Amino acid sequence: MYWEKETETMPGNRLEELQLARLKKSVEKASASVFYGGLFKKTNLDSNGIKSLEDIKKIPLTTKDDLREHWPYGFLAVSRDELVRMHSSSGTTGRATVIFHTIDDIKEWTNIVARSMYMTGMRKSDVFQNMMTYGLFTGGLGFHYGAEKLGALVIPAGAGNSKRQIQLMQDFGTTAIHIIPSYALHLLSVFEEMGVDPRSDTQLQIAFLGAEPHSEKTREKIEEFYGIKAYNSYGLSEMDGPGVAFECRRQNGMHIWEDNFIVEIINPDTLEPVPDGEEGELVLTTLLRDGMPILRYRTKDLTRIIPGPCECGRTHVRIERIKGRTDDMLILKGVNIFPIQIEKKLMDVPGVGTNFLIILERKGFNDHMTVRVEVQKEFFSGDLKQLENLRRRIVEELKGDILITPKVELVEPGSLPKSEGKAVRVIDNREE
């Protein structure tokens, strides 16, 4: 049931002792880098100043901009000879950051990915098809090596080429896939086109959904249409990549591996810790990284800690599914909206398809939101009244949740742009 029982079920106090010892080491290691060396000098800090886990607050927060400003080697804590691998972020919000790993870093990362997959029930008898981009993006190689370590047969399919993906699944009896949720929804139309039913014509059992925010509704949809269990997988390149936080079979929040990371949740405005259980920005510290330790990293991802123990017996803290990044928030007529709120509402309306796009425009002094939604093709043949009813229903649903009235346009399936990577949900045409 456990990949590493002792570590996964370690009582809280022992886990904290382990974290403290590792934090001290991490601070010591980090001080060898240009960035932290300078920072510690300025703030008069060294590992002797870390006497309890609380002392982590003495360390200033690290941001994505710090990584960008000290690009590429300013965070290196070892000589370049020690490095064996480089990865980078996807660059969703600007210049991509780069992360360097030693052989031990890769070993630890691989282990938490294997541990995460094992937690969901994947075993060495499984055939694992990795449908993420290979290369600099961490979702490819990160999962690849984790699955190999677990002993599964890995099909390194990479992203895209949808028909071939389905063919591979059928030819080699794929049982587990790693896939971006928006792509999993898109792939359903390709299944349909090929006349293949994922429920009866494949042996799929497990999907790992990661790389972008998605709602519980989307997960349910994917589970239903594919006839599988889908587990939320969270990670970011700055903290290795996938394997940082992962759902167990209870599917009630994602466990963050606290033997590898220290978890904090802060208020993104005041930078103060939020009370336990309240929403805020996730801040993470690496505990086992040699090449490029990163301390108190502001992930920009919004979530909250789920208080209390998990029925699975693992003691590592759980976080709720990510609501979005702080910079995903749209401000429209003074109202704050996250794209995932819209996704959640749409996925709940029968007849809605698998893709949508939010378009923002400014007319005079007014901001306008248009939500373009793919709906099932039946709505476009026959009685157009039904289409109009559906449109009205969507407007009402959205209005009830986001408190402004968006313009809703319904379009045929497949007509919105489709990305092989993270979905682009918002086009903001408002000039600065």
306 binds Zn ion (CB under 5 A): no
- What is the spatial distance between Cα 59 and Cα 36, in angstroms, rounded to a whole number? 10
Number of residues that bind Zn ion (CB under 5 A): 5
Through-space distance between the first and last CA atoms of the chain, rounded to whole angstroms: 53
92 binds ligand ADP (CB under 6 A): yes
Query: Which of Zn ion, ligand ADP, none binds 189 (CB below 5-8 Å, type-dependent)?
Result: none
236 binds ligand ADP (CB under 6 A): yes
Query: Which of ligand ADP, Zn ion, none binds 7 (CB below 5-8 Å, type-dependent)?
Result: none
Task: Report in angstroms how near the CB of residue 233 gets to ligand ADP at its nearest.
Answer: 5
Among residues 59, 211, 292, 408, the one that binds ligand ADP under rule CB under 6 A: 211
319 binds Zn ion (CB under 5 A): no
Residue whose CB is less far from ligand ADP, 209 or 371: 209
- What is the spatial distance between Cα 251 and Cα 269, in angstroms, rounded to a whole number? 30
Number of residues that bind ligand ADP (CB under 6 A): 19
SS3 content of the chain, % helix, strand, coil (to 5): 35, 25, 40
Find all residues with CB under 8 Å of 128, minimum gap 6, and list them: 117, 122, 143, 147, 152, 153, 154, 155, 174, 175, 176, 177, 178
Q: Sort strands 229-236 and 206-210 into parallel, antiparallel or unpaired.
A: parallel
Query: Which of ligand ADP, Zn ion, none binds 342 (CB below 5-8 Å, type-dependent)?
Result: none
- What is the spatial distance between Cα 316 and Cα 9, in angstroms, rounded to a whole number? 8
Among residues 12, 43, 69, 91, the one that binds ligand ADP under rule CB under 6 A: 91
Among residues 140, 142, 198, 213, the one that binds ligand ADP under rule CB under 6 A: 213
Task: Report in angstroms how near the CB of residue 142 gets to Zn ion at its nearest.
Answer: 21
Q: Which two tokens stand for residue 37?
A: 């060396």
Which residues, numbered 274-333, are part of the site for ligand ADP (CB under 6 A)?
299, 301, 322, 325
Task: Report in angstroms how near the CB of residue 422 gets to ligand ADP at its nearest.
Answer: 6
The three state secondary structure string of 251-311 is: CCCEEECCCCEEEEEECCCCCCECCCCCCEEEEEEECCCCCCCCCCEEEEEEECEECCCCC
Residue whose CB is less far from Zn ion, 2 or 134: 2
Sequence letter at residue 156: P
Q: Which stretch binds ligand ADP (CB under 6 A): 89-97, 110-118, 145-153, 286-294?
A: 89-97
295 binds Zn ion (CB under 5 A): no
Q: Sort strands 176-179 and 206-210 into parallel, antiparallel or unpaired.
A: parallel
Among residues 310, 349, 395, 424, the one that binds Zn ion under rule CB under 5 A: 310
Q: Which stretch binds Zn ion (CB under 5 A): 22-30, 124-132, 143-151, 312-320?
A: 312-320
